[in-house]
């Protein structure tokens, strides 16, 4: 236990000498080849030239509809997929094949499905202690067992349940076990990939509050991926919106809630349910026309132009860059 505490103290001291950003992503691309015939294929541009940064202790929410590339961004950061192009820096150090195993000591991931992300043949204790074994972060078996018990207690699982198997727990409890596994090696950055989308609403609230408590306790940084805008708004300091593999808007949470600029972002926020009947009747929901284009055949220029009510000739000629509209509010649109 002393070894883990010493590591935390040393990490905090090191952080003071580093930049404000714990993670920097520059021009990330993730393409997959998809066969379209016996001898032909097309690139599926799941992530196309995405750049952002995450500050220490910050939560960046990544939101967008299914298939926009959110999960692929998270997996590419962790090198679960080797990026097609672009650079990812953690604490100023470029991530590549030579150091990803070492850097995963400080970068962990909580997956979407708590039913498939836990090995059914392993007990809860085995699941939580596995990363400790991989990174050899204990001096004795007793110290390892104490660490496992501490992590389980932290997420609301009693030590008496450590000998049980994953199938004996509910979905919410399984997700707690997955969080305990991620926290076991004392990381500084966690990718939360739709971590509450498979849970009941009441359980979602418990898990979200636990994420916030853990962040405050351990000064964690999150990339919080979700399709539910209300969840992302509750969790995030800043929000980034994706559409067909590209970032189209990014700003502080309050700023983007009060002043969404991109037509797609405006449509997303207009679809959020409003509990007050009078306000709901007075608000206008923006209905987008047309279907989402195939990621195999993304429209030229702005990918959103086939559904945009403000489309002009320029939209088909060039992809709009993310430009600062003031106060760090970045928008990729020619006409807004």
Each residue's pLDDT tens digit, 255-296: 999 999 999 999 998 887 776 677 666 677 787 888 888 888
| 196-228 confidence digits (pLDDT tens) | 888 888 889 999 999 999 999 999 999 999 999
Percent of the chain at pLDDT above 90? 65
What was the pLDDT predicted at 279? 65
CA distance 40 to 35: 6
DSSP character at residue 177: H
Q: What value does the mean pLDDT take over residues 116-137?
A: 90
Return the closest-CA partner of residue 156 out of 116, 222, 213, 196. Answer: 213
Following DSSP, what letter does each residue of 30-79 receive, concatenated? Answer: EEEEEE-SSS-EEEEEEEEEEEEEEETT-EEEEE-STTSSHHHHHHHHTT
Q: Domains of the chain: which residue ranges?
A: 2-236, 263-336
Contact in structure between 186 and 4 (CB atoms under 8 Å): yes
Taking CA atoms, 221 is separated from 53, 100, 260, in Å, by 11, 18, 25
Coil/strand/helix, residue 127: helix
| 134-186 confidence digits (pLDDT tens) | 888 887 888 888 899 999 999 999 888 999 998 999 989 999 999 999 999 99
What was the pLDDT predicted at 200? 86
Q: What's the whole-number average pLDDT of the chain? A: 88
CA distance 296 to 44: 5
- Classify the phi-psi angles of 236: left when phi > 0, otherwise alpha if psi is within -120 to 50, otherwise beta: beta
CA distance 51 to 69: 13
Assign domain 2-236 one CATH number from 3.40.50.300, 3.40.50.720, 2.30.42.10, 3.90.1280.10: 3.40.50.300
What was the pLDDT predicted at 13? 42
Coil/strand/helix, residue 107: strand
DSSP character at residue 155: T
CA distance 300 to 316: 5
| SS3 annotation, 257-319 | HHCCCCHHHHHHHHCCCCCCHHHHHHCCCCCCCCCCCCCCCCCCCCCCCCCCCCCCHHHHHCC
Does residue 58 surpass a pLDDT of 80?
A: yes
Does residue 9 surpass a pLDDT of 50?
A: no
């Amino acid at each position: 236990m002393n070894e883990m505490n010493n590591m935390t103290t040393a990490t905090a001291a090191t952080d003071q000498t580093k930049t404000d950003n714990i993670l920097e992503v520059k021009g990330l691309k993730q393409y997959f080849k998809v066969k379209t015939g016996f001898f032909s294929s097309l690139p599926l541009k799941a992530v196309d030239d995405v750049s952002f940064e995450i500050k220490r202790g910050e939560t960046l929410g990544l939101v967008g509809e299914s298939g926009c590339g959110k999960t692929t961004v998270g997996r590419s950061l962790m090198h679960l997929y080797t990026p097609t192009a672009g650079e990812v820096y953690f604490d100023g150090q470029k991530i590549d094949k030579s150091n990803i195993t070492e850097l995963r000591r400080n970068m962990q991931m909580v997956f979407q499905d708590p039913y498939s992300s836990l090995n059914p043949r392993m007990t809860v204790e085995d699941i939580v202690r596995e990363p400790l074994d991989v990174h050899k972060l204990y001096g004795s078996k007793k110290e390892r067992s104490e660490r496992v018990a501490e992590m389980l207690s932290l997420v609301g699982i009693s030590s008496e349940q450590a000998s049980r198997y994953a199938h004996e727990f509910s979905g919410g409890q399984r997700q707690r076990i997955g969080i305990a596994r991620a926290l076991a090696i004392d990381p500084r950055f966690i990718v939360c990939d739709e971590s509450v989308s498979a849970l009941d609403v009441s359980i979602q609230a418990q898990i979200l509050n636990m994420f916030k408590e853990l962040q405050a306790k351990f000064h964690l940084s999150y990339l919080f991926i979700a399709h539910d805008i209300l969840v992302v708004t509750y969790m995030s300091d800043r929000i980034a919106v994706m559409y067909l593999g590209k970032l189209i808007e990014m700003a502080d949470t309050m700023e983007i809630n009060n002043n969404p600029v991109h037509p797609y972002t405006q449509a997303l926020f207009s679809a959020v349910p409003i509990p007050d009947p009078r306000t709901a009747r007075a608000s206008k929901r923006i209905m987008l026309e047309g279907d989402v284009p195939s990621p195999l055949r993304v429209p030229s220029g702005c990918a959103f132009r086939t559904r945009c009510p403000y489309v002009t000739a320029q939209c088909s000629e060039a992809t709009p860059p993310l430009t600062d509209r003031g106060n760090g509010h970045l928008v990729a649109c020619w006409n807004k």
